[in-house]
Amino acid sequence: MTANAPTPPSASASPRSRSGSSASTQIVHRSCPTCEASCGLDVEIDPVSRRVIRIEGDAQDQRSQGYLCPKAYAMKEIYEDPERLRRPLRKREDGTWEEIDWETALDYAAARLNAIKEAHGANANGFYIGNPTGHNVGGQLYLPALINALGTQRSFSAGTMDQFPQNVALHNVLGEPWMFPIPDLERTDFFVCMGGNPLVSQGSLMSGPNIKKRLQAIVSRGGRVVTIDPRRTETAEIATDHLFIQPGADAHFLLSVCHVLFTEGLAKPGRLAGFTDGIERVREIAARYSPERVAAATGIAPETTRRLVRDFCAAKGAWYGRIGICTQEFGTLASWLVYVVNVLTGRLDAEGGMLFPRPATGRSEPGRPAEPFVYGRYKTVARGIPEVTGQIPCGLMAEEMEAASAGEARMRGFITVMGNPVLSAPNGERLAAAMDELDFMVSLDIYLNETTRHADLILPSTVQMEHENYDFLFETTSVRNFARWSPAVFAPEADQRDHWRILVELGARIAGAPWEAVDDLMVKGLLAMIVGPGTRCPDVTPEEAFAKLEDRHGPMRMIEALIRVGPYGDRFDDASKGLNLARLRAAEHGLDLGPLEANRLPAALPIPRIQLAPDYVVADLDRLEQGLAERSRADRLVLVGRRQIRNMNSWLHNLPALAKGPNRCTLLIHPDDAGKRGLETGKRVRVASRVGEIEVECVVSDEMMPGVVSLPHGYGHQLPGVRLSVAQKQQPGACSNYLTDELALDVPSGTHVANGIPVEVRAL
Ligand SMILES: Nc1nc2c(c(=O)[nH]1)N[C@H]1C(S)=C(S)[C@@H](COP(=O)(O)OP(=O)(O)OC[C@H]3O[C@@H](n4cnc5c(=O)[nH]c(N)nc54)[C@H](O)[C@@H]3O)O[C@H]1N2
Ligand SMILES: Nc1nc2c(c(=O)[nH]1)N[C@H]1C(S)=C(S)[C@@H](COP(=O)(O)OP(=O)(O)OC[C@H]3O[C@@H](n4cnc5c(=O)[nH]c(N)nc54)[C@H](O)[C@@H]3O)O[C@H]1N2
Ligand code: SF4
Ligand SMILES: [Mo]
């Protein structure tokens, strides 16, 4: 079976009649592609009318056991959305759009991008990769086909508004950017959650369905859940303790935690000490940061810090941090220090602490070569900001496009891949204007939205209902080991294209090669690295392995290669009972691969010893010292972000079931701050920052820390030229990223400051 001819429902669906449904309906089991939790779903369909009748939680899914959230319906509503694009759209001279066929569209895109490359060099093209890529296996595996063909160093992604500081810290500490330590929620009895709101986000870099139940279970078994956040969040409501913290003061606070660990003799790394360098250096650094010295900046009383540290050390604790400690001024230091605290307390790689998943595709197995940490091979034209392991801060896209900032060396061709940076990246207004200076822009996207309206061409893929999937990223971030293949629920129409096909076809055209050959080369290149002499699969040649692969094209061929060689795999041995593609596809409720394992280090690391105080990260401490005084100022008002259960960044607002209800784009403000400005709930306010201003409704609430206001991101749909009529009517909102300053960076990672933006708020 080829991946571009997805499984017809009958191949993986159980015909079933149940109350209220006709005997001809079928239930297809697949995972929900909308957030990291990847819950198992029962999708009941009428295959004849190609309608989804209902979606329920799959009670037989080992991980989610029937759980789902309101966003489970997103997959259905996107599939049915009449405004969703299904065929390529090309902009005419007069700015209107026409549907064109795929051959014409792909030829046109390749010709324009190649013309720019020939006239101005490879770096005259650039691209931006957005978040749904992480939920689409073909999107992840086939990006190289496009990126390598472009050959540009102008590479941007949503990562620099997200987890990138964690990648940079991990790369320096563990030698591996993508091996995230994940809280062992099933066994911890003291969970510290900094800058994350898993009750709403459903857990990020901590993927697990029904996080609420998992956190409540910690409390029920006598443990504690401590949230540290400038907002008393939904998660704080079920936690045992909540500490308010000044935005951007997490690194200062974490250094004071280390200070207490050393001064009170609580720094006990245990077995980790045998393979960790740099502990003494951390002790010297932390010596300066007593809880007393940082208290004014963090807002946390010294005695509270000391008590928290003692209690954490007395328990089986796991210390975790997410978006709030990443997209802030000291994101890399804060991310690094979370790992430091877990190492110093012996909680990294220990049961009940922070553990490393063991994905079926083998990406954390021993014997991997270390990828060097590199940066500065390319510097932006406008301001000389260095790339870091291939990433440039996404907020710098605008100035790289503008003739006034980047001159002749500006970016002229631009590709967005499943991203909406006009709403998601800093200073979206400037970016939108800069896009109109481009010579050519193509968007791989399913909507005509705030970003893609600037494109010359939109290439829409099939959506999750129409293609198979494998939870490739989230098996590396799950709170329990699992492997999950999902079938296509409906076969797409003949003239629709899967996202992976668009990537490889466009890449192949740019390179001047047949796409089938490029696809084969990618698989053969992968096999050459993972089978044959010197690998875990020494007795099979790459050629033999290639001949054994089930599919002829598509992402599941690469997944098959990886899982057969991976820790649960059959190693291409026909007599083995290990995992192969047929067994994976037969497991219609997903494969439960057991709890996360402890004691995987140092074998699972690509470097021999943990580097607890890496030079690259430590070099940022001077900047941290300067940040101390700023955070102690009493007159500060700063903006942070928040997520909401019915949103997914910017792109679910056009779905009636998720967009209904009252306006959600509201500014939360503490009663003291509201009082000073004469504000009350329901009043409209103007929020202004260095780069822009917006108008929103305010809600006065003591869930905010004084001096901090909160706005959700992903709104701002009231722009002309988009086809998002539901979003425009139901939840237009205003774009919080029109306030995000593209120049403010977490310097070591080049990540933007979306939390802790200085703002002014006044009544309208
Ligand atoms: N202020 C502030 N800004 C933030 C954040 C924050 O916390 N605060 N969070 C940041 C984070 S963590 C992230 S991940 C980014 C997200 O940033 P982006 O990824 O740029 O934004 P999204 O809104 O997720 O855009 C997704 C795009 O993918 C398209 N799409 C969805 N499904 C498909 C599909 O199946 N096929 C195709 N071809 N396209 C599809 C949608 O139409 C939409 O255009 O936002 C960041 N921005
Ligand atoms: N429903 C829903 N779920 C989602 C998403 C969505 O848009 N909607 N987006 C998905 C994506 S792309 C991601 S990356 C994840 C993110 O997952 P989370 O990190 O759990 O997401 P947030 O809810 O943004 O939580 C960030 C928290 O950090 C706090 N914070 C802000 N500044 C600071 C600070 O300086 N220090 C500290 N300690 N805290 C701070 C905020 O108040 C907020 O409560 O969620 C994913 N899940
Ligand atoms: S929690 Fe996430 S994966 Fe589960 S149903 Fe909701 S959106 Fe889907
Ligand atoms: Mo994200």
CATH number, domain containing residue 248: 3.40.228.10
pLDDT at residue 215 greater than cutoff 70: yes
pLDDT tier for residue 629 given thresholds of 50, 70 and 90: confident
Residue whose CA lies nearest to ligand 1 atom number 28? 418
**pLDDT per residue as tens digits for the range 444-484:** 999 999 999 999 999 999 999 999 999 999 999 999 999 99
Residue 66 gets the label, from left (phi > 0), alpha (psi -120 to 50) or beta, of: left
In this prediction, residue 19 carries a pLDDT of 46
Residue 343: name the closest of 406, 271, 426, 401 by CA: 271
For the residues 208-216, what does the mean pLDDT come to? 97
Question: Residue 148: inside a domain, yes or no?
Answer: yes
Domain carrying residue 95: 89-159+407-459
Task: Please state the domain count of the chain.
Answer: 3
Give one DSSP letter per residue of 631-694, joined into a string.
Answer: HT-TT--EEEEE--TT--TTTTTT-HHHH-SS---EEEE-HHHHHHTT--TT-EEEEE-SS-EE
- CA–CA separation, 210 and 480 (whole Å): 13
User: Does the model's pTM come out above 0.95?
Assistant: yes
The pLDDT assigned to 630 comes to 84
Please check whether residue 486 lies inside any domain of the structure.
Answer: no
| Residue 750 CA, ligand 4 centroid: distance in Å | 16
pLDDT grade, residue 164 (50/70/90)? very high
pLDDT of residue 21: 53
Residue 6: pLDDT over 60 = no
Task: Say yes or no: 155 and 188 in one domain.
Answer: no
Q: Is the CB of 32 under 6 A from ligand 3?
A: yes
The pLDDT, as a whole number, for residue 699 is 98
Shared domain for 207 and 352, answered yes or no, is yes
Is residue 446 located within the same domain as residue 414?
A: yes
> Which of ligand 2's atoms lies nearest the C-alpha of 71?
1
Q: What is the pLDDT of residues 650-675, one digit of tens each?
A: 999 999 999 999 999 999 999 999 99
Judge if the beta carbon of residue 427 lies within 6 A of ligand 1.
no
**What are the tens digits of pLDDT across the range 516-560?**
999 999 999 999 999 999 998 999 999 999 999 999 999 999 999
- CB within 8 Å of 729: residues ≥ 6 apart: none
Residue 169 in domain: yes
- What confidence tier does 690 reach under pLDDT thresholds 50, 70, 90? very high
Residue 131 has pLDDT above 80, yes or no: yes
Q: Which ligand is nearest to the CA of 58?
A: 3
730 Cβ below 6 A of ligand 2: no
Please name the residue whose Cα sits nearest to atom 3 of ligand 3. Answer: 38
Q: Do 278 and 199 belong to one domain?
A: yes
User: Which tokens in the block code for residue 541?
Assistant: 């040649």
For the Cβ of 194 lying below 6 angstroms from any atom of ligand 3, the answer is no
pLDDT of residue 14: 52
- Whether 144 and 235 map to the same domain: the answer is no
What is the whole-number distance in angstroms between the Cα of residue 58 and the centre of ligand 1? 27
Question: How many angstroms does the Cα of residue 158 sit away from the middle of ligand 1?
Answer: 7
* Whether residue 342 has its Cβ less than 6 Å from ligand 1: no
Looking at the fold, whether 107 and 180 belong to one and the same domain comes out as no
- pLDDT for residue 154 is more than 90: yes
Residue 634's pLDDT is what?
80
pLDDT class for 734, splitting at 50, 70, 90? very high
| Average of per-residue pLDDT across 399-410 | 98
Burial (Cβ within 10 Å: 0-12, 13-18, ≥19) of residue 116:
buried
Question: Do 347 and 204 sit in the same domain of this protein?
Answer: yes
CA–CA separation, 661 and 675 (whole Å):
28
Is there a single domain that holds both residue 169 and residue 228?
yes
Average pLDDT over residues 332-352: 98
Q: Report helix, strand or coil for 496.
A: coil
Does residue 3 fall inside a structural domain? no
Distance CA 246, CA 234 (A): 18
- pLDDT over 80 at 218, yes or no: yes
Best mutation site among 227, 643, 665 for ligand 2, i.e. most ligand atoms within 8 A of its Cβ? 643
Of 311, 339, 364, the residue that ends a domain is 364
Whether 603 maps to a domain, the answer reads no
Regarding the beta carbon of 35 and ligand 3, being less than 6 Å apart is answered yes
CATH number at residue 123: 3.40.50.740
Question: Has residue 233 been placed in a domain?
Answer: yes
**The residue to which tokens 């928040």 are assigned:** 642
Residue 204 shares a structural domain with residue 140: no
Q: What is the mean pLDDT of the chain?
A: 96
Same domain, 355 and 454: no
**189 with 338, same domain?**
yes
Distance CA 681, CA 304 (A): 32
322 lines ligand 2 (CB under 6 A): yes
* CATH code: domain of residue 648: 2.40.40.20
Contact between 367 and 603 (Cβ < 8 Å): no
Is 715 a member of any domain? yes
The answer to whether residue 336 is domain-embedded is: yes
In this predicted structure, the answer to whether residue 620 has a pLDDT above a threshold of 60 is yes
Last residue of a domain, one of 334, 364, 394: 364
Distance of alpha carbon 492 from alpha carbon 685, whole angstroms: 46
pLDDT band at 635 (very low <50, low <70, confident <90, very high): confident
pLDDT by residue (tens digit) across 325-334?
999 999 999 9
Domain shared by 249 and 281, yes or no: yes
